[in-house]
Amino acid sequence: MSKTRFGVSYFSTRDKRHFAEDLEEIKSAGFRYVVHTFSERDLEFYRESVKELVSMTKDAGFLALADPWGVLRLFGGEEYSKWIYVYPEIRQKKLNGEEGYGACPNNPKTIELLEEWIDTVADIGFDGIFWDEVHLDDIACFCEVCNDLFIDEYGGRMDLAPSIILREFGAVSKQRLMEHLFSYAKRKGLSNTLCVLPNISTEELESFIYLRDLDVFSLDPYPAVLGANFIKFMEKQVPYLFNKAKKRGLETELWVQGFSLSEEETSYIDSFFSLIKNIDVDRIAIWSFRATESMSYIRPENPEKVWNKFLSYMRRDGRVD
């Protein structure tokens, strides 16, 4: 297996003095890139602070990627979205008529806000974007914008369509949005990594591989999501999908769950590193720094044990320069 680059996500502080200490630990551990969360709150209140952290990250020799953490609730993350309350007209609608939590991927205002976010990411000096778990609150969004678009593309109303067609429309809506964002980011000189949560079909997972302007295809096969299917997914779907990605000329990435693990569940990391021996993966990252110990909501029962176990495998397998 070729040498793998290791990465870590980071959101522990916006104080550059404390980050300087953490950065030394990240560097001594052997990581090669840092994924900084960049939420709507960061954009509004911590823009220059994050710019300082990114400058420090790059000066230390790391690749710096921006994560749209909870932005518009279209992307993963334990962060609220202000925009979906300021612009309520962009909210997703569920099939039962209830308001969804995230923004509609087809709404022009959604796209405008995400372009604004990308503009700021480029201005800050990030190397690229880690597009984190784009998702819908239902099989599709059923707002008026989506219904009009559905009529144009399928020739009938959404409320009369079968679920298989609605799921297809939902998947295409996400893909259409991401291709637009990838293209916009590329024009700003940013690379695109797309991380797809494996709670959808293998066919839909595979469809993301063929999006234009994608550089890295990433999966986060967390036991918290896959449960008992974790080993099967790692043995079957991951090699299949990564082989497709490699043929497309993409790099590949896997994420390790470093959060919400009980003492007993820490052994999952042993299983992960045993299973990847048969997988051609370019990058492996952990969510997040020091096993998310700074966030009590999801930190593991024993963060120190999780963190040190991950670091020991980085060194043991000889994949760190």
Give per-residue pLDDT as tens, 152-178.
999 999 999 999 999 999 999 999 999
Q: Could you count the other beta carbons within 10 Å of the beta carbon of residue 227?
A: 8
pLDDT for the residue numbered 321: 39
Q: What is the pLDDT of residues 117-163, one digit of tens each?
A: 999 999 999 999 999 999 999 999 999 999 999 999 999 999 999 99
Euclidean distance between CA atoms 193 and 250, whole angstroms: 10
Give, as one character, the DSSP assignment of residue 287.
E
Task: Report the mean per-residue pLDDT for the chain.
Answer: 96
Domains annotated on the chain, with CATH = 7-222+240-257+277-289 (3.20.20.80)
Give mean pLDDT, residues 77-92.
97
Give mean pLDDT, residues 40-60.
98
pLDDT for the residue numbered 317: 59
Residue type, 169: F
pLDDT for the residue numbered 190: 98
Give mean pLDDT, residues 207-226.
97
Euclidean distance between CA atoms 58 and 64, whole angstroms: 6
Give the sign of the dihedral formed by CA 58, CA 4, CA 285, CA 128. Answer: positive
Q: How confident is the model at residue 2 (pLDDT cuts 50, 70, 90)?
A: low
pLDDT for the residue numbered 232: 97
Q: Could you count the other beta carbons within 10 Å of the beta carbon of residue 304?
A: 11
pLDDT for the residue numbered 289: 98
Residues near 191 by beta carbon (within 8 Å), at least 6 away in sequence = 65, 127, 128, 129, 185, 215, 216
pLDDT over 70, % of the chain = 98
Cβ atoms of 50 and 11 closer than 8 Å:
no
